[in-house]
Amino acid sequence: MLLQIALRRKASALTALVTATAIALTPFSAARAQAKGPPVLRDTETEQLLREYTRPILRVAGLEKQNIQMVIINDGSFNAFVADGRRIFVNWGAILQSETPNQIIGVLAHETGHLAGGHLSKLREQLATAQTQMIIAMLLGAGAIAAGSTRSSSAGNNGLANAGAAAIAAPQEMIRRTLLSYQRQQEENADRAGVKFLTATQQSPRGMYETFKRFTSESLFASRGADPYLQSHPMPAERVAALQEFAGSSPYWNKKDDPALQLRHDMVRAKISAFMERPETVYRRYPQTNDSLPARYARAISTYLHGDLRSALSQIDALIQVQPNNPYFYEVRGQALLESGKPAEAIAPLRKAAALSNNGPLIEMLLGQALVGTDNKAYTDEAVRILRAAVAREPEAALGYTQLAMAYGRKGDYAEADLASAQAASLRGDNKTARELATRAKTRFAVGTPGWVKADDIVAAKPPRN
């Protein structure tokens, strides 16, 4: 877990570092069915909460101006990692399994420790050095094998060949152990940095400790008898003992999360459960006897997802009565109507959600989708305006460009429609279709205009290497 890297025995694999791929951005509901797409989820409410969790930590770490982004991975296991120096990746399972804000904040503080320590770039340097060392060892070993083979063919002696094989294997093993040791040290440094950031922001490191302690008992059996020098992370018991020592001395150790923040955290966990887990699991977590706001939120979402729109709307309306200024209740209401084939009825709640969320671009994309979905041309200009504003703030959102293409097509602006379709295809990773659409768009735009230039960039773009 955390700052993961695959280290294999062969020299070629030493160049493989975990990186983030280009991703298609989808709302929670659409992502559930996107089995073949990249495993990324988008949700305004969840992302906003994660940004608020990380903002003070990034500030004291000196990374506030680095535009570090939070990315939610479609994976139910507990994990978080950094991969490119500008994004923190968090599995939805990590959020769901964190019972308090402080627990997930502790994990985010640890990941910030990796970013602040420049661990990715340093690890790349270590890998480059290790690769050079391994190549030299392999060449020397191969030379010995060749010499041994030549002599053995004439003298029947394969001693040099065996020595050559050993010359390859021994340095590989030594280099691998060195790299793993280096990575374990990075993990320990990230733990210490995370505690430092939490203390500087007057937050408790207890959540970080509780999280790692919980995983200690789960991994003790798996690690029993393991070679501690072949682990990429510190052995569990050692890690927790060290963390308890320097985290336990924090003056904020016993500080509790603010009740309002705890409620927001529980609301997000309920939303994730409803969208990502089976309905029977949702109802076990949030039975009818649980009348809390998070439980009602989870059951309302699960109800709409599994076909009972009338009951779902009634439950959502009851939530709105409790919190009439919560944008995400209106968003869920609009999304339920939109996905039930009622785009015209979805417009009003999505307008309200967009206004209350300070025009959240993902919510604006749903609103644009509803406007386009009505087939009412009176909404076309508004849809174009809203969707253009949304993709300007979320330029990697394929959904926004797809809806924008439809709106332009309805206006008869086929140049812009082709360009938006090309941008959507490019974001989905369909480079062939993207280039074809962009090529056609170029013929519709005047040469040198902004649209022509954007289309030309797509045509000229090299496909990513596998």
- Residue 438 φ/ψ region, left for φ over 0, alpha for ψ in the -120 to 50 degree band, beta for the rest: alpha
* Partners of 71 in the β-ladder: 89
pLDDT tens-place string over residues 363-385? 999 999 999 999 899 999 999 99
State CA 28 to chain mean position distance. Answer: 13
Cβ-based burial of 6 (10 A; exposed 0-12, middle 13-18, buried ≥19): exposed
User: Residue ranges per domain, the chain?
Assistant: 1-133+176-256, 413-466
Measured N-to-C along each axis, helices 119-155 and 159-200 cross at an angle, to the nearest 10 degrees, of 170
Of 62-66, 101-105, 331-335, 460-464, the least confident: 460-464
> What is the model's pLDDT at position 14?
27
> What is the model's pLDDT at position 410?
93
Mean pLDDT of all residues in 200-222: 78
Q: Is the dihedral of CA 250, 254, 259, 265 positive or negative?
A: positive
Of 19-33, 310-324, 422-436, the least confident: 19-33
Of 11-15, 120-124, 158-162, 405-409, the least confident: 11-15
pLDDT, greater one: 48 or 34: 48
> What is the model's pLDDT at position 38?
45
Q: To which residue do tokens 């793993």 refer?
A: 180
Q: If you average pLDDT over each of 74-78, 121-125, 130-134, 331-335, which comes out highest? A: 331-335
> What is the model's pLDDT at position 190?
87
Distance separating alpha carbons of residues 171 and 26, to the nearest angstrom: 46
Long-range pairs, 14-18, Cβ under 8 A, ≥24? 14/127, 14/130, 14/131, 14/134, 14/175, 14/179, 15/127, 15/131, 17/83, 17/120, 17/123, 17/124, 17/127, 18/81, 18/83
pLDDT tens-place string over residues 261-319? 999 999 999 999 999 999 999 999 999 999 999 999 999 999 999 989 999 999 999 99
Could you give the C-alpha distances from 169 to 71, 147, 164, 173, in angstroms and in order? Answer: 39, 17, 9, 6
Q: For 147-304, where are the E strands, in sequence order?
A: none
At 130, the pLDDT band (50, 70, 90 cuts) reads very low
> What is the model's pLDDT at position 24?
29
CB atoms within 10 A of CB 254: 8
pLDDT, greater one: 14 or 173: 173
Cβ-based burial of 260 (10 A; exposed 0-12, middle 13-18, buried ≥19): exposed
> What is the model's pLDDT at position 397?
86
Mean pLDDT of all residues in 216-237: 46
CB 231 within 8 A of CB 180: yes
Q: If you average pLDDT over each of 111-125, 203-217, 380-394, which comes out highest? A: 380-394
CB atoms within 10 A of CB 214: 15
Long-range pairs, 82-85, Cβ under 8 A, ≥24? 82/3, 82/111, 82/114, 82/115, 82/119, 82/120, 83/17, 83/18, 83/19, 83/20, 83/120, 84/19, 84/20, 84/120, 85/115, 85/120, 85/121
CB 445 within 8 A of CB 455: yes
> What is the model's pLDDT at position 307?
85
The answer, yes or no, to whether residue 96 has pLDDT greater than 60, is yes
Structure tokens at 380: 């076309």
> What is the model's pLDDT at position 241?
85
Distance separating alpha carbons of residues 146 and 160, to the nearest angstrom: 8
Q: Residue 81: which H helix or E strand, with range?
A: strand 80-82
Percent over 90 (pLDDT), the chain: 59
Cβ-based burial of 328 (10 A; exposed 0-12, middle 13-18, buried ≥19): buried
Q: To which residue do tokens 């649209």 refer?
A: 451
pLDDT tens-place string over residues 404-419? 999 999 999 999 999 9
Average pLDDT for the chain: 81
At 340, the pLDDT band (50, 70, 90 cuts) reads very high
Q: Residue 238: which H helix or E strand, with range?
A: helix 236-247
Of 60-74, 163-177, 285-299, 358-372, the least confident: 163-177
At 212, the pLDDT band (50, 70, 90 cuts) reads confident
> What is the model's pLDDT at position 91?
93
pTM reported for the whole predicted model: 0.78
| Beta strands at 69-73 and 87-91: parallel, antiparallel or unpaired | parallel
Distance separating alpha carbons of residues 82 and 194, to the nearest angstrom: 14
Distance separating alpha carbons of residues 462 and 466, to the nearest angstrom: 12
> What is the model's pLDDT at position 189?
84
CB 420 within 8 A of CB 401: yes
CB atoms within 10 A of CB 311: 13
From first CA to last CA, the distance across the chain in angstroms is 25
Three-state DSSP class for residue 387: helix
pLDDT, greater one: 141 or 260: 260
CB 302 within 8 A of CB 282: yes
The answer, yes or no, to whether residue 251 has pLDDT greater than 70, is yes
The answer, yes or no, to whether residue 151 has pLDDT greater than 90, is no
Closest CA to 371 of 338, 347, 335, 387: 347
